[in-house]
Amino acid sequence: MDALLEVTDLSVDFSGRSGSIRAVDEVSFVIRRGERLGLVGESGAGKSVVARALLGLTKPPGRVSSGSVVFDGRDILKLSSRGLNQVRGQRIALIPQDASLALNPTLTIADHAFEMLRQHTDFNRQKMRDRALETFDRVGLADPKRVLSAHASELSGGMKQRVAIALALLCGPELIVADDPTSAVDVTLQAQILADLCDLTTRLGVAMLFISHDLRVVASLCSRVVVLYAGQVAEVGAPRQLLGQTHHPYSQALINCLPSVDERKMPLAVVPGAPPDSLDISGCRFHPRCPNALPTCAETRPPLSDMERGFACWNPL
């Protein structure tokens, strides 16, 4: 299966009074057509920064300092504003982390849908309405006509999140970037939305980058997983490989933190320490928290051994 998106050595810096902070450091991965790839890591790992860079949405004081994001043969980072607008929404779509913040409270849901369709299609108003109703029904909204005429404040959290998914699907994208789309809903709705996302992307043949801090959720949804730590790729592989025989100590630490229904742990396991100060980087970023660290870990950054099933560690498990 050929590659739809190829990210190579992507780095994103943020400038401040104290200097430049590298939030994403030489991240590389590939998403094939129709594939669901998971990007997982704790808060502050750089997951959302990667997502915004893929869509050309990095704004000052942030900037993409190096690397490439090649989508279907074209480097997104080199496109003009007009070229980006032709790709975003139509060929690559974003499902935001919190639909309550993404939806404009002064506009109806129809206003949101029609604005996107006007940008990317030549539909008349009736055809736009038909497409919106069809897509809303597809994502499981019980009364699409009422939802279309409603404002965001009139909808529940789960309905708003389904609206966000529907808006992402409106123009038939080839790739969906889902930035932790279930973090703002309860566990029951989370399970329903994840099952719907899995079904929709399979039926429509849409590739997806699914971003989450929950390794178990990512493993249940995706065919491959990229573990991100402090802006760097720590490990990549299939979910069974990672959960069955992980190699990077950070990946293992994330697995250890997963609660179990079969074994009660009090207190719950945590990853000791805190992520590094990005202003002072040397060696492996995980080495201050790593139980397997060697002297070389503090001096030299380990390379990623393989982009398909690899890890970046001098002393793997």
Residue 8: CB partners within 8 Å, gap ≥ 6?
28, 67, 68, 70
Q: What is the pLDDT of residue 177?
A: 97
Average pLDDT over residues 21-25: 92
How large a percentage of the chain has pLDDT more than 70?
98
User: What's the CA angle centered on 11, arms 7 and 14, to 5 degrees?
Assistant: 140
Using the predicted structure, report yes or no on whether residue 36 has a pLDDT greater than 80. Answer: yes
How large a percentage of the chain has pLDDT more than 90?
74
Q: What is the pLDDT of residue 120?
A: 94
Beta carbons within 10 angstroms of residue 192's beta carbon: 15
The pair of structure tokens assigned to 243 is: 């959960």
Q: What is the pLDDT of residue 262?
A: 74
Q: What is the pLDDT of residue 190?
A: 84
Question: In which band, very low, low, confident or very high, does the pLDDT at 1 lie, cut at 50, 70 and 90?
Answer: low
- Is pTM beyond 0.75? Reply is yes
Q: What is the pLDDT of residue 20?
A: 87
Q: What is the pLDDT of residue 250?
A: 96
Phi and psi at 28, nearest 5°, equal -135, 140
Question: In which band, very low, low, confident or very high, does the pLDDT at 78 lie, cut at 50, 70 and 90?
Answer: very high
As a dihedral over the C-alpha atoms of residue 189, residue 270, residue 213, residue 250, rounded to 10 degrees, the angle is -150
At residue 46, the 3 state secondary structure works out as coil
Residues 64-76 pLDDT 10s:
999 999 999 999 9
- From the centroid of its chain, how far is CA 216? 15
Q: What is the pLDDT of residue 257?
A: 87
Q: What is the pLDDT of residue 52?
A: 94
As a dihedral over the C-alpha atoms of residue 150, residue 151, residue 153, residue 157, rounded to 10 degrees, the angle is 70
Give the chain's mean pLDDT.
Answer: 92
Question: In which band, very low, low, confident or very high, does the pLDDT at 192 lie, cut at 50, 70 and 90?
Answer: confident
Residues 235-284 pLDDT 10s:
999 999 998 899 999 999 999 888 877 777 677 788 888 888 766 678 99
The pair of structure tokens assigned to 171 is: 């123009």
Using the predicted structure, report yes or no on whether residue 140 has a pLDDT greater than 80. Answer: yes
Q: Which residue has the tokens 């940008």?
A: 119
Q: What is the pLDDT of residue 70?
A: 97
Q: What is the pLDDT of residue 279?
A: 65
- Write down the domain spans for the chain: 3-222
Using the predicted structure, report yes or no on whether residue 23 has a pLDDT greater than 60. Answer: yes
d(CA 227, CA 40): 5
Using the predicted structure, report yes or no on whether residue 2 has a pLDDT greater than 90. Answer: no
As a dihedral over the C-alpha atoms of residue 204, residue 76, residue 84, residue 201, rounded to 10 degrees, the angle is 10
Average pLDDT over residues 282-291: 92
Of the options 3.40.1740.10, 3.40.50.300, 1.10.3720.10, 3.90.1150.200, the CATH number for the domain spanning 3-222: 3.40.50.300
At residue 210, the 3 state secondary structure works out as strand
Residues 106-118 pLDDT 10s:
999 999 999 999 9
Residues 142-183 pLDDT 10s:
899 999 999 999 999 889 999 999 999 999 999 999 998 887
Concatenated DSSP letters of 261-277 = SSS--SSPP---S----
Q: Which residue has the tokens 């992520």?
A: 275
